[in-house]
Structure 1
Amino acid sequence: MSCCITFSKRCICFIDQINEWIGKSVAWLTLGMVLVTFVIVVLRYAFDLGWVSLQESVAYMHALVFMLGAAYTLKHDRHVRVDIFYQRCGAKTRAWIDCLGSLLLLLPVSVFIIWSSWEYVADSWRILEGSRNSGGLPGLFLLKSCIIVMAVLLILQGLAQFVRNLLIALGQNSREAQ
């Protein structure tokens, strides 16, 4: 049993590290969005210039921040939660609630996202889809692939959260599990 717990904690740590790295990396895109938006505004109003690709790059960055940052948000418990009863519960009860939430909500929804978007993404890859706008960015198929990447990262983080909370609910050392 101790060997399984040690292996579980290593897996949790590995998944947490992946999502931590991805989350911190894509966070820099928010700075990029601000800077590119500033450039777009200056070019448009000061020089009467504009490029579709520049405008689309802001939308691409915005999509990447939300899709690739979702698991990071879950890891840091910053997702939307109704805390009416949850905040009053003890640590073990909260851990059981989180386990059930992962099993009954997060994991099925993430699997559904993969299942329902698979054809959409595959069709985009088949034609190597780019922007529909003249002068737009190529590689829309890569951006659409992030839908599946997001769901996979959420599944991994959901499993890590589930195991972490299960260890807490079963009375294992919660400090090591986190």
Structure 2
Amino acid sequence: MERVFRSLEWIMAVLAGIALFIMMVLTFVDVIGRYGFNKSIFGTAEIIEYLMVCVIFAGIAFVTAGDQHIKVEIFEPWIKRKVPNLQRWCVHLFSLFVYAFVTWELIHHALDSFGSGKRTAVLDGPQWLMPGAAALFSVVGVALFVFALLLTRGWPGRLGRLQHFEADPEKSEHLEL
């Protein structure tokens, strides 16, 4: 099961990376063409919108699954000393609830867009494709997050090789499970 988890996480990371790279190249070529040759690429903005959905929602999927979010720890050290397990599980369950709610709304939006039959303005593509892709990536992300929580008993950041940094560099450690 862990192999399936790692494969899905890897696929999400690679998709986000490839989409980001394509966005970078497309924007670069479009700017050179527009300002250098007075010819821009038709539909660049719409293509970048599709790619942005992939970058954001595939990225959220693998970042959430590995508990690799940027965190601001103001009260966390004090709370961890008092009730470490309660704090950790409250954060994870709240994150899971919000992520599942957003996923649910994306699915409804994708289905509504599919039912409307609307097309995009420039490339005349199906309008449901963006919320559909976002919903699909989010479903995979929620599944990965639940699986990571179950597999690690609430410590998803400890899956695989992880460089764990503390505020004090002397306390930093390299975890491998």
TM-score (norm 1): 0.71
SS at match of 1:50: coil
1:156 deviates by 1.2
User: What is aligned with 1:162?
Assistant: 149
Question: Could you say what the CA RMSD is over the residues aligned between the two structures, in angstroms?
Answer: 2.9
- 5 Å-filtered alignment, 1:8-157, equals 10=1, 12-86=2-76, 89=80, 93=84, 97-103=87-93, 105-133=94-122, 136=123, 138-157=125-144
With over 3 angstroms needed to count, the CA separation of the structure-2 counterparts of 1:156 and 1:118, relative to structure 1, is: closer
Name the SS for the 1:140 alignment partner: coil
Does the C-alpha gap of structure 1 residues 35 and 137 become closer, same or farther in structure 2, counting only changes over 3 Å?
Answer: farther
Amino acid in structure 1 at the alignment position of 2:134 = I
User: Structure 1 residue 60: deviation in Å?
Assistant: 1.4
Report if aligned partners of 1:131, 1:138 keep a CA contact under 8 Å in 2: yes
> Which structure is richer in relative contact order (CA contacts within 8 A, separation 6 or more)?
1
Q: 1:70 to 1:167 in 2, by over 3 A?
A: closer
Calculate percent identity across the aligned residue pairs: 17
Name the CA shift for 1:167/1:124 in 2 (closer, same or farther; >3 Å).
Answer: closer
Of the structure 1 ranges 124-133 and 23-32, higher mean CA displacement relative to structure 2 is found in 124-133
User: In the aligned structure 1, how far is the partner of 2:116 from the partner of 2:131?
Assistant: 13
Show the counterpart of 1:5.
Answer: none
Partner of 1:139: helix, strand, or coil?
A: coil
Asked whether the equivalents of residues 106 and 132 of structure 2 are also in contact (C-alpha less than 8 Å), the reply is no
Cα deviation, residue 25, structure 1: 2.8
Change in 2 beyond 3 A, CA 1:84/1:60? same
TM-score (norm 2): 0.72
Give the conservation status (yes or no) of the 8 Å contact 1:98–1:162: no
For residues 96 and 120 of structure 1, do their structure 2 counterparts lie closer, same or farther at Cα, with a shift above 3 Å needed?
same
Q: State how far apart, in whole Å, the 1-side matches of 2:58 and 2:110 are.
A: 16
Structure 1 runs (4+) deviating above 6 angstroms are none
Query: Structure 2 CA distance, aligned partners of 1:70 and 1:26?
Result: 9
Q: Normalized per residue, which structure has more strand?
A: 2
Amino acid aligned to 2:13: G
Count of aligned positions? 157
